[in-house]
Structure 1
Amino acid sequence: MKNAISEDKQLDNYDISLLAALQRDGHATHQQIGEQIHLSPSQVSRRVQRLQAAGYIQRFVALLSPEAVGLGVRAVSYVALTRNSGDEGLVFEREIALIPEVLECYSIAGESDYILHIVVTDLRSLSESVLRRVTRIPGVGSVRSNIVLSCIKATTELPLEQLARR
């Protein structure tokens, strides 16, 4: 087993276990993580620093409950551009990045060009502020939205156990 990230950025089993532990609880101390994965706190600390420097760990955040903070309405919107030339796509992407209610935007292949994950306080906010702003972006041909009734699964944890099997 390797003890550090190698030059080709391969993860060893300790790295994978460390990343999995951080995904479950990013607030855990190096002591707590070390006990879970059988490394000393100083080894955990060095690995965390190395994983951050290598780009595996982007940042540490607190995951908030949208409902608890009053953002209980979610929607998934499908956006089709009139033409998907380079400029229209770039304009759309630049403008959509400025709308805070859009949590995620994915460029996709298929009938639509983009999928948006939107969170707002109420349906009026969805209609008046968010969707109206999206439809005003130059090059937007159509927007189809679906209201999320309930969340069946939502996770930020990547399936790292697949990496350990290789």
Structure 2
Amino acid sequence: MHQDTELDRIDVQILRELAADGRLSWRDLAQRVGLSLTPTTRRVKRLEDEGFIRGYLAQLDEARLAGSMSVFVSVTLDKQSEKAIERFETEIALAPEVMSCFLMTGDSDYNLRVVVKDLEAYHQFLRRSLTRIPGVAHIKSSFALKAVLMRNAPPL
């Protein structure tokens, strides 16, 4: 991505429209942003080439496919060596229940969002995956009561 690239009003509108509906036809996109087809496709190609658009996804129904229980898990490692961090990150990536994993500052080393069907499925995830990763010293789980807000794009 080019650090010096400026996004104008039309670029931002293109990004908003595609974030809301990635299957939008080029013709519909052009109409919504007020350009003809060729300049619109050129702009989208530039936004892709410069890394503003990394790809196109289908938004899947998490609850129907994996379960409606979101668990936020704070993980502390027994040491923060490069090897321990690499091992944890490699192992946690193998667990399909983990929807996101962030290396943190503060009291814990990692924060995960885990999606499971129910409490028993979470217990199995702990036993089968998380507690078997070498170097995990402490696990703290918080259960989400409901999703209040989930965005699929940053502020534009």
TM-score w.r.t. structure 1 length?
0.87
Q: Secondary structure at the match of 1:71?
A: coil
Quick check: 1:131 aligned with 2:131?
Answer: no
Q: Secondary structure at the match of 2:65?
A: coil
Quick check: 1:63 aligned with 2:59?
Answer: yes
Q: Secondary structure at the match of 2:96?
A: coil
- State how 1:94-105 maps to structure 2 within 5 Å: 94-105=90-101
> How much does 1:37 deviate?
1.2
After TM superposition, where is structure 1 displaced by more than 4 Å over at least 4 residues in a row?
none
Structure 2 gaps of 5+ residues are: none
Match in the other structure for 2:14: 18
Q: Secondary structure at the match of 1:116?
A: strand
Q: Secondary structure at the match of 2:28?
A: helix
Structure 1 gaps of 5+ residues are: 161-166
Contact 1:30–1:41 (CA<8 Å) still a contact in 2? Answer: yes
Contact 1:135–1:142 (CA<8 Å) still a contact in 2? Answer: no
> How much does 1:12 deviate?
2.2
State the identity %. 34
Out of 90, 98, 102, the residue aligned to residue 106 of structure 1 is 102
- Greater CA deviation, 67-76 or 23-32? 67-76
Distance 1:34 1:114, change over 3 A: same
Out of 31, 34, 52, the residue aligned to residue 35 of structure 1 is 31
Contact 2:70–2:116 (CA<8 Å) still a contact in 1? Answer: yes
> How much does 1:7 deviate?
8.0
Alignment RMSD, CA only? 1.7
What do the CA deviations read for 1:25-71 (whole angstroms, capped 9, x no partner)? 11111111111111112222121122112111111111112123352
What do the CA deviations read for 1:119-143 (whole angstroms, capped 9, x no partner)? 1122111111x22211211111111
- Give the Cα separation in 1 of the matches to 2:146 and 2:152: 17
Residue identity in the other structure for 2:136: V
Match in the other structure for 1:146: 142
Q: Secondary structure at the match of 1:144?
A: strand
Residue identity in the other structure for 2:126: L
What do the CA deviations read for 1:65-103 (whole angstroms, capped 9, x no partner)? 212335211111000011111111111011111111101
Distance 1:92 1:38, change over 3 A: same
